[in-house]
Chain A
Amino acid sequence: MREHERVLEIQEVPDNRAPQLDRRVFLAGAAAAMGGAVFPSTAPAAPAREESGLVDVNVNLGRWPLRRLPHDQTELLASTLRSHGVTQAWAGSFDGLLHKDIAAVNARLADECQRHGAGLLVPFGSVNPKLPDWEEDLRRCVQIHRMRGIRLHPNYHGYQLDDPVFARLLALAAKNDLVVQVALVMEDERMMHPLLRVEPVATEPLAGLIKGIPGLRLTLLNALRTLRGDALGKLVAAGDVYVEISMIEGVGAVGCLLDLLPADRVLFGSHAPLFYFEAAKMKLEESPLKPEVLRAIRHQNAKRLLA
């Protein structure tokens, strides 16, 4: 769905503050997602219009469950991001990993982004498709919070990517013009808390799945620790698939990545505040990158993706 089509939809919805689609209509839409139903969105925020800048597609708000982080208060994180020249940051929520009241998680996320990061923080809501009535969480992301994307954590939510519910969620997200982010890991599995161990998300089913969902825009977060080489190249080539650089490692790693992937599929992501923000930013300095490639990674690809 393009922006002018979104505008038309806004005009068709009388109350753009808290629209409530009839639940029966919503459920019908969910059931028919593979076929074409769409949740009307009310007033999508226009993406940033800066011609330059830095878009961080991978930050989280809230508290990491296992330790306090230096920037785990939204105002501090926003201040740090701004000080580094970040013009837009796509924010998920640490609470989305383990909380069951996802509706409250997403409401807090939207509120925090608005209160402390207006113009900077773009909320990406959590959806756990293993919870009953997850479609309502998705509907609220679209209709109530006017989110532009969602962030999924299949390993923390206990499903594999060949689960039919995942395909249904992707299809419904695509029909509602949401960017879908899938986080493959959150931290190094070797040092996880013994009571909170999860395997990296296995991506093998993804390439086949993507081909069957027209319009899907997919971003893989924290992917480059476990997804490499031919498997990475094939997955990115399978559709409108992007990766970000927060977990890529090795000297000159971003430059090496561009030997494998086209530059228009690589995004800037920091994984802050769990990671020091500076790590991602300095990776762009470590590799010799052409100015046009640097612009693409820093902001152009992300802006195009969210446009």
Chain B
Amino acid sequence: MEIWDLHCHLSGVPGDTPESRLAAILRYADRMGIARLCVCMGMQWNYDPKPETMRQENDDVLRAIRAYPDRTFGFVYINPNHTTASLQELNRCVRDGPMVGVKLWVAERCSARSLDPIIAAATELEAPILQHTWIKITGNLPGESTPLDLALLARRHPRAILICGHTGGDWEVGIRAIRGHSNIYADLAGGDPAAGFTEMAVRELGAERVLYGSDAGGRSFASQLAKVLGAAIPESARRLILAGNAKRILGPILERKGVRL
């Protein structure tokens, strides 16, 4: 069964260069039978990166994915607190470069209006947007989004392809929050392999809206794959979650870039 991992970082493995880290991650991916990885940031972690740091993070990913073009795709990391620089990065890395998606993390909550030009531009490029979300009883970071924030964004941008990173961590709440928005996909990545997560996502959203991701290298490929391979769901749903949905979502932008699968 083909597997595409929608959510990986250049972290969790030794290596001084982006290429060496991605090589190390791919060795583990090979052991788990994962064909393709979508990669963003991870050589360093910056909650609220300045424009030059953003560029450095994206240069790292560009170097890494250029070394493994048949195995990896890049997502550009941008910061909505720097709109102009973010749009420049989007154009540099996605419109004019090899990257195929957008990563938003914790600099600003995604319900903020400052995201609108970025989301509009990404939508025009047919680039999916992976937005980190979490609902923490221990307290979110100031700019950390919840699935409810993403739902507000989805309402303003119904054509955008939005991926709810981690499905909010507290997935029983996260799934409910995004249920009514058909352009939001649930990302299984990160979080413990809590039994029932995938079953509920398939039941409430439909298998077509559920995506396998790992959050490697901080998370184990194994623990995250188990959410799909261990779930009591039909085999057809498993195939969609592991690769079918990713191919469908990324299909238009890959075609636009002339990537043949």
Contacts and interface: CB of A to CB of B under 8 A. Distances in A.
Interface in A261-290: 272-279, 281-283, 285-288
Nearest to B225: A282
Interface of B: 12-13, 24-25, 28, 31-32, 134-138, 169-170, 172, 191-196, 199, 216-223, 225-227, 229-232
Given A191-B137, A197-B137, A279 B232 contact: no
Closest 10 interchain pairs by CB? A276-B230, A282-B222, A279-B226, A278-B230, A278-B226, A279-B193, A279-B223, A276-B226, A191-B170, A286-B222
B195 A283 contact: no
B contact patch SS: loop
Interface of A: 67-71, 187-194, 197, 247-253, 272-279, 281-283, 285-288
A251 B170 contact: no
A69 B191 CA distance: 17
B169 A283 contact: no
B135 A249 contact: no
Contacts of A251: 12-13, 24-25, 28, 216-217, 219-221
A289 to B, nearest CB: 11
Contact of B194 (A68, A187, A248, A285): A187
Contact of A190 (B12, B136, B221): B136
Contact of B219 (A68, A191, A250): A250
Nearest to A225: B192
A193 B222 CA distance: 26
A189 B25 CA distance: 28
Contacts of B28: 251-252, 286-287
Nearest to B32: A286
Contacts of B196: 67-70
B170 A279 contact: no
Contacts of B223: 249, 279, 282-283
B98 to A, nearest CB: 24
B138 A190 contact: yes
Nearest to A71: B195
Contacts of A278: 193, 222, 225-226, 229-230
Contacts of B199: 70
A296 to B, nearest CB: 19
A189 B193 contact: no
A68 B225 CA distance: 21
12 contacts: A69-B195, A187-B192, A188-B169, A192-B137, A250-B220, A274-B195, A275-B226, A277-B226, A278-B230, A282-B223, A283-B220, A286-B28
Contacts of A187: 192, 194
Contact of B31 (A191, A194, A274, A286): A286
A222 to B, nearest CB: 10
A266 to B, nearest CB: 15
A191 B222 CA distance: 21
A192 B170 CA distance: 8
Given A69-B195, A251-B12, A275-B194, A282 B134 contact: no
Contacts of B216: 250-251
Contacts of B219: 249-251
Nearest to B139: A190
B232 A70 contact: yes
Given A188-B169, A276-B195, A276-B226, 11 more contacts: A70-B195, A189-B137, A190-B170, A197-B137, A251-B13, A275-B192, A278-B193, A278-B225, A279-B227, A282-B32, A286-B222
B220 A248 contact: yes
A189 B13 CA distance: 25
A190 B195 contact: no
Contacts of B230: 276-279
Given A197-B137, A286-B31, A274 B222 contact: no
Given A275-B195, A276-B231, A288 B222 contact: no
B138 A275 contact: no
